Amino acid sequence: MSYTALYRKFRPDTFEDVKGQEHIVTTLKNQMKANRIGHAYLFCGTRGTGKTTVAKILAKAVNCEHPKDGSPCNECETCRAIQAGTSMNVIEIDAASNNGVDNIREIREEVAYRPTRGKYKVYIIDEVHMLSTGAFNALLKTLEEPPSYVIFILATTEAHKIPVTILSRCQRYDFRRITIDTIAARLQELLDAEGVEAEERAVRYVAKAGDGSMRDALSLLDQCIAFYMDQKLTYDKVLDVLGTVDTEVFSHLLRCVLRQDVVGCIRLLEELVNRGKEMAQFVSDFTWYMRNLLLVGSADSTEDVLDVSTETLQSMQEESRMVEPETLMRYIRVFSELSGQIRYSSQKRVLVEIALIKLCRPAMETNMDSILDRLRVLEEKMENGIPAAVSAAPAPVPADSTVSSAPSAAAKQSEPAKAAPEDLKKVRAQWRSIVGTTEGMFKQFLNTAVPKYNGETGEPKLYVEFTNPLAGKYTRDEEAKAELEEIIRERIGKTVEVEMVLADPGKNGNLSEISVDEILKNMIHMPVEVEDDPPEEF
C-alpha cells in the first residue's frame, strides 16, 4: 500500500476535529442543528487553514442520514461515499483549470437534476478567484436563486479578486491563521499516533515554520520524519532539514556587524552556505530576529508577543541594550529591501554579502538612519580611547593686520568663561548610548534633556537640564541620580557627579552646553574649512 502524506492521512472528518477555526465551526454546527442551511458559502483565508476540509465536512453534514450534534456520523452510506469521493452529490471543481464560461454553463445545466441520493447536491469550487469575468457573470443568476437542493461552497485565498456581485450573494467566512500553540499541539498529537519521538522545541519550531498553515506544518513535519527515519526528532535536526539557522548564529552575526567586522560576517556566511542553508530563508529569519530585538528594546513585557524561550529572551534583552533602535531600523530596512530582490536573483549569496557590508559600513549610505549609525561608530571609537590628534597652534597675526585679534562683545557674552572638563566632553560624546541604557519614563525624559556644565567655574560636575516640565520629580530622585552616575562610570571609567535640574534661564544662566566639536573633528580626520563670501563688487 502506498504511503499517505500526514496532512491527507489525518484530515479532519468532523467539525470537532478542525483546529483553530472555532468561530466558523460553531456557526456551521448551529446552522445544521437549526436547519438554517444557506444556499451559497464563501470560505476565505490563507493556504492550509482548513477551507476545503470544512467544505467537505459541510457537504457530508447536510447529506448525513444520522447527524450527531450538527456533525456527520461518518458511518452511513452517504458519508462513506462522500469520504471516498464516489458520491454523485458532491462535485469538486478546480477553478484554476476550469475557469471558462463553458465550464460554468455545464454547472447551470447540471443543477436542473435532483440528487440521486440524499438531500443536497453540493458544488465545491476551489480557488474561485481564478474564474474569468465571463464565468463570474454566468454564475451570478444560478448563485442567487439556485434550486432548493443545491448548495454552492466557494473557496479562495484572494477574496479581493472576487466581484462584489458574487460576494453579496454568499455567506462569507474568514479563516484565521492558526496559532503556533494550536499547530504544535496538533503536531504532537499526530506524532504520538505515529509513534515518533520528538523534542518539544523541535515541534514548536516546525509549527512556527508553518506560518499559520496547518497543512504547511504537516508537510514540513513529514519531511523531517522521512529524513531522520526511526530517530528522535531534535531541534538541531529540524534546523538541518529545513535549511534554517539557530538564533545563536544570528546573535554572533549581529555582534560582528556592530564591531564592523566585515571579514567575520563573510566567514560566518561562508559557513552557512557550506552547511546548505537557504539564503532567502536566512534573510527572512535574520530580519525577523532583528524585529524581535527592536520589540524587546522598545517595549516592556514582550514575553507574550515573542514566541521564544526564557533563555533566548534574556539573551535578546542583553543584545537590545547593545544597539540603538535607529540602528536596528536601518538594519531591518536593508534586509527588507534585500528580501524583495533575492527571490528573483541568481546570485543570492552576492546580494547577501553586499547587504552585510552595508550594515558594517554605514558611510556607504546617505540616509538619516545611516548617519546616526556612523555617529554610533564614532562614539564607540571615542569610548575605546582612540587618541585625538594634537591641534596645531594658531598662526601669529601680523602686526600690520587690520583684523582685530580681540573677540567681539557679542562673542564674549555668548562664550563661557572656562571650557568644559575632558571627562564631561566624553560624557557628552557618548550621551546617546548612555541614555539608551536607561529604561521607562526616565529614558523618555533623558532623550530630550541637555547635558551641561558650569561655564563660570568649569567644575567637573554634570548638569542634566530637563526641557520637559513633567520631569521635575527626577530632580529630587536620588535613585535615578545614582543610576545615571553608575552608567557614566561604566562608560568612561571615571566617577562624575550628576545634578538634574529643570530648564530655567533665570536660575541656570551660568550653565553652558558641552562642545565636542574638536573631538569629532579629530576622530574623522577631516579639517572643517569655512569659506568667506567674496566681497561684493559695486
Full pLDDT tens readout for the chain, 538 residues: 467 888 888 889 889 889 889 999 999 999 998 889 999 999 999 888 999 999 999 999 999 988 888 889 988 888 999 888 888 889 999 888 888 888 888 888 888 888 877 789 999 999 999 998 888 988 888 888 888 899 999 999 988 999 999 999 999 999 998 988 899 999 999 999 888 899 888 898 898 888 888 999 999 999 888 888 888 888 888 888 876 667 778 888 998 998 889 999 999 999 888 887 888 888 988 998 898 888 888 877 666 667 666 667 777 888 888 888 888 888 899 998 898 888 888 888 999 999 999 888 877 666 655 666 667 666 666 666 554 444 444 444 444 444 444 444 444 344 555 556 788 888 888 888 888 888 888 888 888 888 988 878 878 889 899 888 888 888 888 888 889 888 988 888 888 899 998 888 777 778 888 876 555 545 444 444 444 455 544 4
Distance between CA atoms of 250 and 273, rounded to whole angstroms? 14
Structural domains for the chain: 6-175 (3.40.50.300), 180-242 (1.10.8.60), 247-369 (1.20.272.10), 413-524 (3.30.300.180)
Cα dihedral 207, 213, 215, 221, rounded to 10, equals: -20
Grid cell digits, residue 8? 491527507
Query: What count of Cα atoms within 13 Å lies in the side-chain half-sphere of residue 499?
Result: 11
Query: What count of Cα atoms within 13 Å lies in the side-chain half-sphere of residue 170?
Result: 26
Q: How many CB atoms lie within 10 A of CB 29?
A: 19
The answer to whether 491 touches 434, Cβ cutoff 8 Å, is yes
Distance between CA atoms of 510 and 172, rounded to whole angstroms? 70
Residue type, 201: R
Distance between CA atoms of 175 and 184, rounded to whole angstroms? 18
From 40, 34, 58, select the one nearest 145 (Cα to Cα): 40
Distance between CA atoms of 45 and 130, rounded to whole angstroms? 15
DSSP state of 300: S
Residue type, 489: R
pTM equals: 0.58
| Separation of first and last alpha carbons in the chain | 102
